Chains A and B, each alone.
Chain A
Amino acid sequence: MKDVYLIVGFLQIVFVIFMQWQVYLRKIVITFALSSAAIAVFLFVNGTYLNSINLIILAFLTIAVRGVFIPYYMLKKLKAPYKDREPRNVIPTALSIVISLFLVVVAYVVYNFTLYDITYVKAGSIPIALILQGIFLIISRNNAFIQLIGYMVMENSLFLLAGYMFPELPLIIEGGILLDLIGVVMISGIVMRLREDTVSNVIEEFEEFKG
């Protein structure tokens, strides 16, 4: 099972780096759908291996919610100009890829020097790398859709972590987390749409937000 985990974990990192340099929002959303599908496959395989019905149900929920519903909803909410390209990046693309790779190394080093002694899971640095990359995606991009995907990348990494390290985590809690995610995405979709209609320059700070 460790091999499947490693392959899916490695794929997740590649997907996020792809999202990092990608400027076409549609492709970023589709990449997110693929990464969610990879996690669903992992949960399904692990569920079959451990004979855990909870993990298998979670795999189906993951593919339905993260792999299909959320990407579909986001693509529907994307307006024409944003479907093509993000207007501008905060950090240049090349630099953002370098930082992304650097974060993977940082996660590996930090994990091996701190958490490995506690968890004894060799590839435990993968979810940490994904969490760091999710945070970086949020802070390095202006577009609210990509920031939301950054948030979901972080959540995906937790599902990977939970599926591998804590497969016995009660399904009802993971189901609750998934339901929350649907809520967050739907409400965010409304706010993002309105925000892109009204906010002329999102980088510019409003005077009242200073201090």
Chain B
Amino acid sequence: MIYLLPSFFPLLASVFCISKNDKISEFSSVFASLASIAASIYIIFMKPAVSWLLYIDGFSKIMLVVISIIYLTTILFSTTYIKHVSKPLLSKSSYYLFLNLFVLSMLLSVSLNNLGFIWVGIEATTITSALLVAIDNDEASLESSWRYIIIVSTGLIMSLIGVMLIYASMHTLNISKLLNTSPLDNKLFAIGAALTIAGFSTKAGIFPMHTWLPDVHGRSIAPVSAIFSSVLLPTALFGVYRVIEISSFMNGIKMFSFILGFSTVAFASIFLITQKFYKRMFAYSSMENMGMILMGLAIDTKYALLGAVILIVSHAFAKSSAFYTTGNILSLYKTRNVNDIKGLINTIPFGAYSFVLSSLAVTGAPPFGTFLGEMLILYAVFVKFGLVLSLLILLFLAVAFFSLNYKVSKMSFSTNGDSSKRKDEVMGSFVPILNTTLAFLTIFAAGIINNLLNTGVIK
């Protein structure tokens, strides 16, 4: 029962949000996120759980902690940011209600012991977040919300077919049983696993089913973009990993996942060069990171998996920080165009430094955790596929690094900024700085992550 505590608190907060009282909704959401973090950290020290409903191993525990922390920072950032939305689609209490339900569906998705339930959980994230995407209540945000619903739901239908075929070949969807069962029909299982991976990958923004992602990240408000990029995409990849795990005896499935990951890195890196809008640019950066993570999960060796999980954790903090700062920039400059933003260092000095550092972090610069994660994945690629492919991936990472950091540096350090716009809000600046710091500190948590992945518990 205690394993359900991280999910219980957002559920409780949702109930309070129904009261329609903005203050109660806000306070209960902050309390729930704090309690959720405490419960997730407590679970780290408990034995892995396997029951008919729950399957909580080391990876699940890491996901619970990361989702809970991003939950808290998103709520804290929202408390000051939401007032910048001029004609919000939802009232404050409804916004917190959907945010809590959205987090609840993610927390459950990483805790369940049934592939069918995981599908339901991931589809539930679409339902609970669609209105959050449209909160700006303008043409473009409504259009992006609709694209999100229809593209992701259609992709998830593919994974539902896959789940059914896995059931047909294994006669169970229980993950702990699937891990110890051989399929009755290998071909049927392979098709099922491939379809499930392709469907979940749609939700994770993996090429070629990624088309919703830049639109949604580009048009939704900063806290929503942040929580999407930092934990929703990894939650979908977590579903992909469960399928890779149960099909570990099939190299073809791993290769299929690897190719999807590699194509995503290649595509996103190339598209990053031409991006004119900064939020959209970070969306492509998320794709690039998800591609790397998927490659790590697909190779599934000790170092590759460790690298992928370190990258998930560090990317979550760094990317959320970057998106929070884009919110501060947008509220100040009222434009998403990179070329219209100059001299951030004069207008939001703390924000500018945090923006530059978080951009460096999401592109895998040392000393951030993302650097370690990407290096471990590259090492695993080198060991498995040789030098040429490793160099090719390195080239794509370099392209992404220079494209993104050049634009962010131009926005931050160009000299002719309008200092009359100067404005640093306490919470608006504190949260991105906190998350950038956490992205750095992840590198010191590598040992704990490794321990959790190997033994499922910290003693």
Contacts and interface: CB of A to CB of B under 8 A. Distances in A.
Interface of A: 115, 117-119, 131, 135, 138, 144, 147-148, 151, 154-155, 158, 161-162, 165-166, 168-170, 172-173, 176-177, 179-180, 183-184, 187-188, 190-192, 194-195, 198-200, 202, 206, 208-209, 211
Interface string B270-299: 010011110010000000000000000000
A16 to B, nearest CB: 15
Contacts of B280: 208, 211
B120 A173 contact: yes
Given A151-B154, A158-B160, A180-B124, A173 B117 contact: yes
B340 to A, nearest CB: 13
B142 to A, nearest CB: 5
- Lowest 4 CB-CB distances: which A-B pairs, in order? A173-B116, A183-B127, A176-B120, A180-B123
B425 interface: no
A100 B154 CA distance: 18
Among A117, A144, A180, A206, the most chain B Cβ lie within 10 Å of the Cβ of A180
Contact of B142 (A161, A162, A165, A198): A198
A118 to B, nearest CB: 5
A166 B173 CA distance: 13
Given A118-B188, A147-B150, A151-B153, A200 B131 contact: no
Contact of B130 (A155, A177, A191): A191
A173 B137 contact: no
The contact size tier of chain B is: 35 or more
A195 to B, nearest CB: 5
Contact of B154 (A138, A166, A183, A211): A138
B117 A188 contact: no
Given A166-B164, A169-B167, A191 B146 contact: yes
27 contacts: A118-B188, A138-B150, A168-B171, A170-B116, A170-B173, A173-B114, A173-B120, A176-B117, A183-B124, A183-B127, A184-B127, A187-B131, A191-B131, A191-B146, A194-B89, A194-B134, A194-B142, A195-B145, A200-B139, A202-B143, A208-B219, A208-B280, A208-B336, A209-B144, A209-B215, A211-B214, A211-B274
Interface in B126-148: 126-128, 130-131, 134, 137-140, 142-146
A190 B127 CA distance: 11
Given A155-B160, A190-B131, 16 more contacts: A118-B191, A119-B168, A131-B161, A138-B154, A161-B164, A176-B116, A177-B120, A180-B127, A184-B126, A188-B146, A188-B149, A191-B130, A195-B142, A195-B143, A199-B139, A199-B143
B418 interface: no
B160 A177 contact: yes
B149 A187 contact: yes
Interface string B210-233: 000011001100000000000000
B89 to A, nearest CB: 7
A180 B142 CA distance: 21
A183 B125 CA distance: 10
A170 B172 CA distance: 9
B329 to A, nearest CB: 16
B146 A195 contact: yes
Contacts of A169: 164, 167
Contacts of A191: 130-131, 134, 142, 145-146, 149
B146 A192 contact: yes
A165 B117 CA distance: 20
A165 B164 CA distance: 10
A119 B167 CA distance: 13
Contacts of A200: 139
Nearest to A173: B116
A158 B188 contact: no
Contacts of B384: none
Interface string B89-120: 10000000000000000000000001011011
Interface in B241-283: 271, 274-277, 280
A168 B170 CA distance: 12
Interface string B387-428: 000000000000000000000000000000000000000000
Contacts of A180: 120, 123-124, 127
A158 B214 CA distance: 30
A37 to B, nearest CB: 21
